[in-house]
Structure 1
Amino acid sequence: MADAQAEMFKYFEPTVQWNNLQLSNIHTLASWGIGTAAGVLGLTGWNGFIFFLLNWVFLSTLVFFVKCQGKPAVFFKSSAMDIAVTPIMNTMLSYVLVWTLMHALVYIYD
C-alpha cells in the first residue's frame, strides 16, 4: 500500500504538464526548422524522411542529456518514451507540411 501511495505522489501534475508543454514546443519548433531545411535543400522521397529521423535522434539526444541532465524520469512520467517515441507522429506531420511547403516555394514556383 505504501509503495502505491508513494508512486501516486511521486510527480506533481502541474509540473509534469508544464514539462510536456515545453517538450511539445521544442518538438514543434524543431520540426518546422528541420522541414524548412529539408525543403530548401531539395530533399525528396526517402531522403527527406531519413533526414527527419537523423535530426529526431539528434534532438532527442540533446533533450535527454542537456535539458533532462540524463535523468528524464525526474521530469516525465514515462521518461524516455515521452521524449523520443510518443510525439514522433505529430511532429512528423508538422515536418511533412513544412517540408512540402518549402520545397514547393523554392523549387516549383521559381
Structure 2
Amino acid sequence: MSLEIGWFLTVPVSLVAGVLWAGFFSKRPRPAPPGFVLGGITVAFGSLVLSQAMAASRWLNSSPAGVGDPDGEYVMMAFAELSGVVALLIGAVILISRGAAVQRSRKMDVPALMNH
C-alpha cells in the first residue's frame, strides 16, 4: 500500500519538475507535440486500467471469500481507478493538442516556389 501511495505522489511531482526544467532551462526549440499513436495508446491503456479496476471494485464490494481486509483492497482499487482516469485524460489532451497542431500547420501560408 505504501508503494502505491508513494507512486501516486512521486509521479506527478516528477512530471511537473521535468516540465519546468525543460521549459525554463532548455536552449533547444520546443519539440513537436506527441503523435496520434501515443495519444491512442494512452487512451486505450487508461480505459483498460479503469475497466479492470472498476471490475475489481465491484468484486470487492460483494464480500469475496479469501480477502482478509476488503477495505484496504478497495482503497487500492480506488487509486487504480484514479490512475486510469488520469491516463484517459492525458491521452485525450495528447490527441487534442496534436489535432490542434495539425490544424494550425494546415492554415500556414507557404510561399509557392517559382521557376526561373
TM score, norm. by length of structure 2: 0.33
- Answer with 1 or 2: which has the greater Rg: 2
Q: Which has the higher helix share?
A: 1
